[in-house]
Structure 1
Amino acid sequence: MIPCRAYDVGVLVDLFADCDIAIDPELLDRVPSLRHWVKDRRSQAISHAESGSSLGSGPKQHWDTQHRKRFLDEMKLRGFSVKTIRAYNGQVDRYMRYCAAHPAPSESSPSASRLSEYSLHLLDSQHSHAYVNQAISAVKFYLQHVGGLVESEAYLRPKKERKLPNVLAREEVMRLLQQTVNPKHRAILYLTYSSGLRVGEVVRLRLKDLDRERKTVHIRQGKGRKDRVTVLSEAAYEVVEAYLRSGYADRAGWLFPGQQEGKHLTERSVQKLFEQKLREAGIRKEVSVHSLRHSFATHLLEGGIDLRYIQELLGHQNIRTTEVYTHISVKDIRRIRSPLDWQE
């Protein structure tokens, strides 16, 4: 089963980009961005028919197996994370496909001069500003380190959108945790919330990373390949101990082993677990498992914990990233009364 979300459907579409894909009309209504994709595919087909070209000709020749391998090697040499490599590879692939479908007569290969045109295409397709900026960064990296281009022109980027994260109330978090009975699942969700972990961090925990005496969790090589130390809840550790007694844990390896021997649990498994428990708890908010991390930070701030400490616990390099939680905290908002409630 594949979740019906724009991102996941987009990944599926990219994987089968060269195939004919039939899309149910109901899915088109639920994922509007797919309508733009269908429109693009139709325009590509018309363009290829008129020019007699295919995705394998024209600019596509600059994105063959050899160029792709060089691109991946350049990213690996610079220590890019697996997620970034996967995302950049997909972005450049889509850019090359766009250039092949919309050939520019004045140039023989894709270059940075077409990035503005491509950015407008993405924005018209209802992609987020963050998505467009990532596409620009990926193509720029490819052109500079694989294409050998030295661009003097400025890269115009859409202004970064300021979106507030969705969080759960403490009562909702407790309801979700109490809804979880399986010892392994309880330990995963308890640690994720109580320590403010990313899903990629919780699945890669080992038992040695939990220090009960110091009440800390050691996160090794988290986002940005940085180690950090965050808080370990006594209640969460008791849940972990119950999980260890159940016999499902691997005390010598991953704290949460996956189905494949020697592998940790997948991030997608945790996401599916959270979505299931969310439904069982009757919570209707548009939240993901990452919202537990947002909720952790927000609840700390509402509890009077200094923003700098929260920054350290979350592993944010820039305090401005952490400051977003000041906009969703209700600690001070609760003191304000709406004019409608004022008494004469």
Structure 2
Amino acid sequence: MDHGPALPGAASLVLVSGVLHLDPAPAVFEAMLDGWSRQQRSRFLRADATIKPRLEVVRRFARFSNQYPWQWTPGELEAFMSSMSVAVSTARSYQNALRLFCDYITDARYGWPSECLERFGASPQQVLHEWNSVLHNVEFEGRTSRRPLSYDEVQALFDAADGRVEEIRERRRKGAAAAQRDAVLLKTVYAFGLRRQEAQGLDLVDLRSNPKAKAFGRIGGLFVRHGKSSRGSTAKRRTVLTVPEFDWIVELVEHYLAEVRPILVPGDHPAFWVTERRGRMSLRSINDAFEHARAAAGIDPELDLHSLRHSYVTHLVEFDYPERFVQEQVGHSYASTTAIYTGVSDDYRNRLLQRSLTAPGFDLWEPVS
């Protein structure tokens, strides 16, 4: 029997020849998943971040339909999607995973159509088409409540984080050093426009001096090694420069490194943000730091840590930094993505309007009576 060429993930490579299964259907399905994993690994896609979530979506659809891939129909897919209450972007990611899996098992080069036809009398089909797929019609599909924090909200958030440190000290409780760490962490996220995983992944060696801004010393920028990947690629890297408007972060970070971090007794741990147990802060802990400060400051609970990144982009724009500079600072591939993050204030727009109105040669147009 011709199983097709021996491409990574081909049926001939993952099915054990000469072995008879009492129940062949589950064995073939598992072999399909194994083969798809191999095919994706051959393209250097990341196992935990990309391959594993895709496999779980396929398994979830199989459990829902109670059918195997060679039995799936578009109707089953539509019922599956209708059963879920998820964001549009999440629904699209599910559909993308299922579409890619169906592309794989229907590609004759991998041998699955002929294998299934011989074993089960049916071949798999592509169950997603333009009529049952989520279309990408708008740039932004996130929560409409997510927005940049105003300057007053940013200040209130930071005051609340600092206030927690003082409260712990006054009560003579443990945790003052951790609270100081959290306060500096939140300010660093804002001052460099970091994503949550980017902040978590920072190491001491990621500090960068800037020969064009010697006044900032060793905190002339941060080398971000855990940026958001795209299309299954490895994490993107970038250097985020310290800008003069956020130069206050230099003294805070220096104080944290010299006075606060040593109290946590990190030993030789490389992480920038360490716990009292000498480990790297978790993503959940970073979220908690923001949520505690947000609650204490009385800020809208719909706003999350990522809103600080939105604030960073917005405030750089209001400081009149060029669009391309802002885009590079936050690591966006496209200017349109940066524009989505921007929500300039009315004061800024009025300043732009006033600047135009007072520009030389500007005359108000008067209609002819």
TM-score (norm 2): 0.63
Contact 1:58-1:108 at 8 Å conserved across structures: no
Residue 316 of structure 1 corresponds to 332
- CA distance 1:305–1:253, shift in 2 (3 Å): same
- CA distance 1:335–1:238, shift in 2 (3 Å): closer
Residue 190 of structure 2 corresponds to residue 229 of structure 1: no
CA offset digits 1:64-87 (Å, max 9, x no partner): 4x5545444544443334333443
Residue 253 of structure 2 corresponds to residue 240 of structure 1: yes
Unpaired stretches in structure 2, ≥5 consecutive residues:
1-22, 114-124, 166-178, 214-219, 230-234, 354-369
| 2:134 paired residue among 158, 175, 180 | 158
Residue 297 of structure 1 corresponds to 313
Residue 45 of structure 2 corresponds to residue 80 of structure 1: yes
Residue 142 of structure 1 corresponds to 101
Report the Cα offset of residue 176 of structure 1. Answer: 0.8
Aligned letter for 2:135?
A: K
State how 1:174-213 maps to structure 2 within 5 Å. 174-180=155-161, 181=165, 182-213=179-210
Report the Cα offset of residue 185 of structure 1. Answer: 0.6
Report the Cα offset of residue 317 of structure 1. Answer: 0.9
Unpaired stretches in structure 1, ≥5 consecutive residues:
1-56, 337-344
Residue 22 of structure 1 corresponds to none
Residue 216 of structure 2 corresponds to none
More deviation in 178-187 or 75-84?
Answer: 75-84
Contact 1:58-1:109 at 8 Å conserved across structures: no
C-alpha distance in 2 between matches for 1:260 and 1:145 = 45
C-alpha distance in 2 between matches for 1:250 and 1:59 = 53
Find the residue that maps to 2:44 and give its secondary structure: coil
CA offset digits 1:131-169 (Å, max 9, x no partner): 121011112233344674686787333123534542211
Contact 1:207-1:251 at 8 Å conserved across structures: no
Find the residue that maps to 1:109 and give its secondary structure: helix
Contact 1:210-1:218 at 8 Å conserved across structures: yes
More deviation in 161-170 or 199-208?
Answer: 161-170
C-alpha distance in 2 between matches for 1:333 and 1:153 = 52
TM-score (norm 1): 0.67
More deviation in 136-145 or 69-78?
Answer: 69-78
State how 1:106-121 maps to structure 2 within 5 Å. 109-111=70-72, 113-114=73-74, 117-119=76-78, 121=80
Residue 341 of structure 2 corresponds to residue 325 of structure 1: yes
Note the aligned Cα RMSD (angstroms): 3.3
C-alpha distance in 2 between matches for 1:108 and 1:153 = 10
- CA distance 1:125–1:171, shift in 2 (3 Å): same
Residue 96 of structure 1 corresponds to 62
Residue 271 of structure 2 corresponds to 254
State how 1:33-48 maps to structure 2 within 5 Å. none
Q: Matched residue pairs, number?
A: 271
- CA distance 1:209–1:108, shift in 2 (3 Å): closer
C-alpha distance in 2 between matches for 1:266 and 1:196 = 19
C-alpha distance in 2 between matches for 1:96 and 1:154 = 15
Percent identical among aligned pairs is 23
